[in-house]
Each structure stands twice: as C-alpha cells, then as structure tokens.
C-alpha cells in the first residue's frame, strides 16, 4: 500500500473476502464502472466480476 502513489493510484481498496464482488466495495466511488479492467483470475467468478466492474463500452484485458 505504501507504493501506490509511485504508480499513480488515486484510490486503494481491500476486499473483505475473496467472495466479495468488486463493485460492492468500489461502486460507491465509481458507479459507472471502469474503462479498463484487468482481471488477475481468468476463470470462474473472476471473469464475472471483471464484466460487472467494466463500464458500458469498457475493455477487459485478458492475459496469461
């Protein structure tokens, strides 16, 4: 968390559990979602969470 400013982060969040949906935590600050979402887990609920977090016409970058 200390290096967040070095990489340009303006907000940081910690999800309370691995089952918590991202938008349940960050949706108050970003109700429209995100223009670019880069999921770290490309299987199961990780992709569903990425779709929910992406704004309309947003992009999901899959790698790996």
Residues 6+ apart with CB under 8 A from 41: 47
Block residue for tokens 């303006």: 10
Q: What confidence score (pLDDT) does residue 1 get?
A: 65
Structural domain boundaries in the chain: 11-60
Summarised one tens digit per residue, pLDDT across range 11-36 is 889 999 988 999 999 999 999 999 99
Global pTM value: 0.79
Full 3-state SS string of 2-50: CCHHHHCCCCCCCCCCCCCCHHHHHCCCCCCCEEEECCCCCCCHHHHHH
Mean of the per-residue pLDDT values of the chain: 90
Angle of CA points 22, 23, 29, to nearest 5°: 115
Percent of the chain scoring above 90 in pLDDT: 59
Helix (H) or strand (E) holding 60: strand 54-60
């Amino acid at each position: 968390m200390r290096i967040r400013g070095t990489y340009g982060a303006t907000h940081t969040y910690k999800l309370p559990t691995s089952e918590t949906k991202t938008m349940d935590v960050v949706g108050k600050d970003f109700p429209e979602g995100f223009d670019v979402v880069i999921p770290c887990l490309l299987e199961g609920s990780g992709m569903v969470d990425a779709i929910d977090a992406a704004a309309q016409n947003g992009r999901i970058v899959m790698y790996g």
